[in-house]
Amino acid sequence: MHDIFVAHIAVFFGRMYFIDVPTLLYRQHESNTSGGIAKKRTLKQMIKKGISFSRYKESYKVLKKDFIRKQLYAEFFADYFNDMLSKREQKIMNGFVSLSEKNKLFRICFLIKNRFFKKGLVNNIWQFIVV
């Protein structure tokens, strides 16, 4: 989580550059809180494999917990850097933080309006289910 915090600070208040050279050793494992190794499956593969409701129920719980963690992170970021954010950025951050208080349709519309998309159709569908 600290990597993304530094990246957000760079994007909001400075510049970010891509360096195409490894600068440190990095190891990923299944218990990473973000950026962990995940098996990528297409929608077709998921349908072929069959629906395991217990597996999806567990995925839902994990993704819901992750979404709440992102809201807490956004709340901290907005509070800490509030004076440095534009009015539009403050509105988006505060809107994201208070999504849990809104109804499902509002939450989905908020994500779409503010372009909170994930990579891949399946990931976006899951995001709309979880939110």
Rounded Cα–Cα distance for residues 4 and 21 (Å): 19
* 50: Cα separation from own chain's centroid: 27
Planar angle of CA 97, 18, 96, nearest 5 degrees: 5
Give per-residue pLDDT as tens, 3-24: 777 777 777 777 777 888 888 7
Distance of alpha carbon 50 from alpha carbon 53, whole angstroms: 9
Residue 85 in contact with residue 12, Cβ under 8 Å?
A: yes
pTM of the full structure:
0.63
The pLDDT tens digits of the residues spanning 61-84 come to 888 888 888 898 889 888 888 888
Sign of CA dihedral 49, 54, 60, 62: negative
- pLDDT tens figures, 17-66: 788 888 877 676 666 655 555 566 676 776 666 656 667 777 788 888 88
Report yes or no: 124 and 117 within 8 Å, Cβ to Cβ.
Answer: yes
Angle between helices 53-81 and 87-97 (to 10 degrees): 140
128 pLDDT above the threshold of 80 = yes
